[in-house]
Amino acid sequence: MSVTVDAVMLEARAGSLAKRSIKTTTKVAGIRLAIGCMDLTTLEGKDSEGRIRSLCAKALHPAPHLPDVPSVAAVCVYPNLVPAAKEALRGTSVKVASVATAFPSGLSSMEVRLADTAAAIQAGADEIDMVIDRGAFLAGRYREVYDEIVAVKAACGPVHLKVILETGELGSYDAVRRASDLALEAGADFIKTSTGKVGTNATFPVAVTMCEAIRDYARRTGRRVGLKVAGGVRNTKQAMTYLVIIKETLGESWLTPDLFRIGASSLLDDLLMQYEKELTGHYAGRDYFPMD
């Protein structure tokens, strides 16, 4: 039985965390952290190998002209494009994450979803971003959802597993908390908010709820699980708020790519623009940053 969540007070808490004033040195440190914890993502039907090579180059050196900007943590792509990404990133610290399990809906047979996962791993994926079957979850078939995560985890072996809850489809914070607890118990290495493919993606209250679940689980078992926020994180202000949420709910030790990721695409450009602004005192135009 999960603890319950009161929406009014949760949103008030998230709102007050969003009001933290992040300036000067903190902002510079925060931007570097956010870049270093980023899963630079492209998940479009028109993705090609050329596009992936371009994305990987940017992932490795987001802004060659700016000092101390780290590489991102990983690129996140569809399974077919894993080989291209692996090749482009060979010998670097940047990992390749692949979505799997019939992303984004998850509505295929278990055999297909496990085969999807196995293929991505076979192709060299370092990390797997799976989706849960929201239909089963909302129908109350929690055991089935749990068993699926366990099965995918087994298929992953040492490969890191991120479990996407698709919180925008769960309908309540109580459900977010319950799905989080379920994924944690089933052995997820990370729990992740969203696919980025539905109307509502990561939000501050959802992130707070998931952090609370992770914190309670770590308190109970000693195992530290990561959080990935994904979808709708477009600007620096939002990214800083997620760092604040992690810091004040889970603690600073969670602010590492091993335990925190932001899944995003356009966010990187805003972070770089804000970073340069902090260093030079003025904004540079969009075209001073390479497009991916």
> Which of these segments, 10-18, 39-47, 223-231, 268-276, binds another protein (CB under 8 A)?
10-18
171 binds another protein (CB under 8 A): no
What span, in angstroms and rounded, lies between the C-alpha atoms of 21 and 241?
A: 9
| Shortest CB 16 distance to another protein, Å | 8
Taking CB under 8 A as the rule, does residue 10 contact another protein? Answer: yes
Please check whether residue 230 is in contact with residue 41, taking contact to mean a CB–CB distance below 8 angstroms.
Answer: yes
Shortest distance in whole angstroms from residue 280 CB to another protein? 18
**Residues assigned a catalytic role:** 129, 192, 228
Taking a C-beta distance cutoff of 8 angstroms, is the pair 75, 96 a contact? Answer: yes
Torsion of CA 199, 62, 74, 166, to 10 degrees: -10
Are 252 and 215 in contact, with CB atoms under 8 Å apart? Answer: no
Q: Pull the structure tokens for residue 256.
A: 């590492």
- When asked if residue 12 is in the footprint of another protein (CB under 8 A), the reply is yes
Q: How far is the CB of 35 from another protein (least distance, A)?
A: 13
Nearer residue to another protein within complex by CB, 10 or 152: 10
Among the listed residues 85, 156, 183, 243, the single contact to another protein using CB under 8 A: 243
What distances in angstroms separate CA 7 from CA 136, 165, 166, one per listed residue?
24, 18, 18
User: Using CB under 8 A, which of 68, 91, 219, 291 touches another protein?
Assistant: 219
Q: What are phi and psi of 166, to 5 degrees?
A: 50, 65
To the nearest whole angstrom, how small is the minimum distance from the Cβ of residue 288 to another protein? 26
Number of residues that bind another protein (CB under 8 A): 28
Radius of gyration of the chain (CA): 18
**Should residue 6 be labelled a site residue for another protein when binding is judged by CB under 8 A?**
yes
Please report how close the Cβ of residue 65 comes to another protein at its closest, in angstroms.
25
Where does this chain touch another protein (CB under 8 A) — which range of 2-10, 50-58, 226-234, 281-289?
A: 2-10
Q: Which stretch binds another protein (CB under 8 A): 48-56, 108-116, 154-162, 242-250?
A: 242-250
Type of residue at 244? V
Q: Which of 24, 68, 111, 285 contacts another protein by CB under 8 A?
A: 24
d(CA 84, CA 169): 32
Are 2 and 174 in contact, with CB atoms under 8 Å apart? yes
Helix segments in 24-172, DSSP class H: 24-36, 49-60, 82-88, 110-122, 134-138, 142-156
Segment interacting with another protein (CB under 8 A) among 62-70, 73-81, 122-130, 246-254: 246-254
DSSP string, 207-232: HHHHHHHHHHHHHHH----EEEEESS
Smallest CA-to-CA distance from 164 within 125, 137, 140 is with: 137
Q: Does 222 bind another protein (CB under 8 A)?
A: no
* The binder of another protein chosen from 97, 121, 225, 255 (CB under 8 A): 255
Please report how close the Cβ of residue 252 comes to another protein at its closest, in angstroms: 6
- Summarize as ranges the residues that interact with another protein (CB under 8 A): 3-6, 8-10, 12-13, 19-27, 29-30, 33, 212, 219, 243, 247-248, 252, 255
